[in-house]
């Protein structure tokens, strides 16, 4: 290798050398993973090192349990990334829904591209998503009959076809 190669070109050259030396995918992928710096997370006294890339098992489990909000489903989905007892450890320490959402947003972003997202950026993304969900909700239901009538079309009564003078 020459000295005029950039760091990325050097890394790619190393991966290519391994590919030339070995004809099996295990060695190639092992060398490729060494070039990616996995993101560590410290939470409630434990350090979790994310996989260098999103595990297929995690992606499949997220899809499978998308509509299931049970604790068992969440535990199953998180196991490939954080281990089998992480969720229980966090719950015992008092994690709340917002904090869990931030951790998951951070983990998802950093498995796609390690080092790409800070916890602050993940928290901002979660807050934006929560705000968007709040805006997407329908208008509040009118409280009484008068308000419900005002919220209606204001046209003729559906029963008689005539407008009502009463309120």
**pLDDT, tens digit, 9 for 90 and up, residues 62-120:** 999 999 989 999 999 999 999 999 999 999 999 999 999 999 999 999 999 888 999 99
**What residue segments make up the domains of the chain, in order of their start?**
1-35, 38-133
- Of the chain, the percentage scoring pLDDT greater than 70 comes to 68
> What is the SS3 assignment for 61-103?
HHHHCCCCCCHHHHHHHHHHHHCCCHHHHHHHHCCCHHHHHHH
pTM (two decimals): 0.63
pLDDT of residue 71: 93
Name, in order, each residue with C-beta under 8 angstroms of 61's C-beta and a sequence gap of 6 or more: 76, 77, 80
Does residue 133 or residue 86 have the better pLDDT? 86
Average pLDDT, the chain: 81
């Amino acid at each position: 290798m020459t000295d005029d190669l950039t760091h990325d070109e050097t890394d790619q050259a190393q991966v290519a050398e391994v590919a030339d030396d070995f004809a099996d995918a295990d060695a190639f992928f092992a060398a490729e993973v060494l070039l990616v710096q996995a993101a560590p997370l410290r939470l409630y006294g434990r350090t979790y090192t994310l996989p260098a890339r999103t595990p297929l098992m995690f992606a499949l489990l997220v899809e499978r349990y998308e509509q299931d909000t049970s604790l068992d489903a969440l535990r199953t989905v998180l196991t490939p990334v954080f281990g089998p007892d992480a969720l229980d450890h966090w719950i015992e320490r008092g994690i709340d829904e917002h904090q869990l959402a931030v951790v998951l947003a951070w983990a998802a972003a950093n498995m796609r591209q390690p080092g790409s997202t800070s916890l602050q950026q993940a928290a901002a993304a979660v807050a934006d998503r929560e705000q968007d969900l709040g805006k997407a909700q329908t208008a509040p239901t009118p409280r009484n009959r008068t308000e419900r009538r005002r919220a209606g079309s204001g046209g003729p009564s559906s029963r008689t076809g005539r407008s009502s003078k009463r309120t």
